Amino acid sequence: MSGAAPVERHLAVLGSPIEHSRSPDLHRAAYRVLGLPWDYERREVSSGALAEFLHELDASWRGLSLTMPLKREVLPLLAERTDLVEISGAANTVLLTPDGPRGFNTDVAGIVGALGDHGVTDVDTVHVIGTGNTASSAFLAAERLGASRVLISGRSLDGIAALERLGDRLGVHTEWRLYGSHVPVRSDLVINTLPGGVDPDDVADADLGEVLMEVPYDPWPTPRAARWAERDGLVVSGLEMLLHQAIGQVRVFITGTEGGRIDREDEVIAAMREAVGLELED
């Protein structure tokens, strides 16, 4: 078996829009280090088209990364889901197996890992902006970081209600407000989950927070990140989250399971960082 040639596999990141995604840079760097002849590309897949896309894949396909608007749409198409997918209601990773697609959520670990690189490992109050596909993962990340209170800013009452139910399940006190509120909010951490370039009038400039995590990374800096940096606040970019969630995806695609480490993982991570120009701060 040791002399067997690696089997070629196909992988892709799906979503709409998708041309900005840096996931191919990250994954190609990882598989290059590991000597795997796996290709990884971008595929434009819009809302409502995911089922047909999955149906047309052959056995050479190993896995998929999902972004907006597919993280929730994939759920009824999965043969198996992890507990984290069940509680978050979102899957950003699909492992393609003979028994059907299996869904994973590596976004939560991506947020926690990116913040941890900056020494943010313990928070009390977190402000989550947005109620879309990534907001539930941001909420779960806040809980993992020890948050006892989460404020939600959004425009969808249904989305807000879903996050309130998640808070009840986790035992985290939840408050909310609609966009346009100018009541200042104080928090240890702000996590903005809205798409790049979207900057609703939801957070007054008077709002204070120790740390801002901007999930969007294109275009960069976002208007909010630029304002935050002007007052010397700590900004953690979504590209750093993307790196950490991609590490989780590589583990899933290589081993078939989540968690644990892969061979030469430190070397793989270093190559992934270099591929997208991320340097680990001292």
Do residue 131 and residue 224 come from a single domain?
yes
- Is residue 81, in this structure, part of any structural domain at all? yes
In this structure, what is the dihedral angle of CA atoms 47, 49, 53, 54, given to the nearest 10 degrees?
70
For 209-235, give the DSSP string. Answer: EEEEEES--SSSS-HHHHHHHHTT-EE
Do residue 173 and residue 203 come from a single domain?
yes
Q: Give, rounded to a whole angstrom, the gap between the first and last alpha carbons of the chain.
A: 42
- pLDDT band for position 23 (cuts 50, 70, 90): very high
Do residue 118 and residue 233 come from a single domain?
yes
**So what's the pLDDT on residue 230?**
86
Do residue 15 and residue 134 come from a single domain?
no
| 210 neighbors 188 (Cβ within 8 angstroms) | yes
pTM over cut 0.75: yes
- pLDDT band for position 25 (cuts 50, 70, 90): very high
Do residue 154 and residue 66 come from a single domain?
no
Do residue 228 and residue 247 come from a single domain?
no
Do residue 16 and residue 67 come from a single domain?
yes
Which CATH number fits the domain that encloses residue 140?
3.40.50.720
Q: What percent of the chain has pLDDT over 70?
A: 91
Query: Alpha-carbon distance 123 to 239, whole Å?
Result: 21
Do residue 115 and residue 235 come from a single domain?
yes
- Is residue 155, in this structure, part of any structural domain at all? yes
State which H helix or E strand residue 61 sits in. strand 61-66
Span 52-65, mean pLDDT?
97
pLDDT tens readout for residues 218-232: 888 888 888 888 888
Do residue 66 and residue 113 come from a single domain?
no
- Is residue 3, in this structure, part of any structural domain at all? no
Total domains in the chain come to 2
What does each C-alpha distance from 250 to 115, 204, 254 come to in angstroms?
Answer: 20, 39, 6
- Is residue 138, in this structure, part of any structural domain at all? yes
Do residue 25 and residue 138 come from a single domain?
no
Which CATH number fits the domain that encloses residue 258?
3.40.50.10860
Do residue 206 and residue 270 come from a single domain?
no
- Find the domain containing 74 and state its range: 9-106+243-276
Do residue 124 and residue 57 come from a single domain?
no
- Is residue 281, in this structure, part of any structural domain at all? no
pLDDT tens readout for residues 128-174: 999 988 999 999 999 999 999 999 999 899 999 999 999 999 999 99
- Is residue 282, in this structure, part of any structural domain at all? no
Question: For all residues of the chain together, what is the average pLDDT?
Answer: 92
What does each C-alpha distance from 194 to 58, 213, 214 come to in angstroms?
Answer: 34, 11, 8
- Is residue 261, in this structure, part of any structural domain at all? yes
- Is residue 202, in this structure, part of any structural domain at all? yes
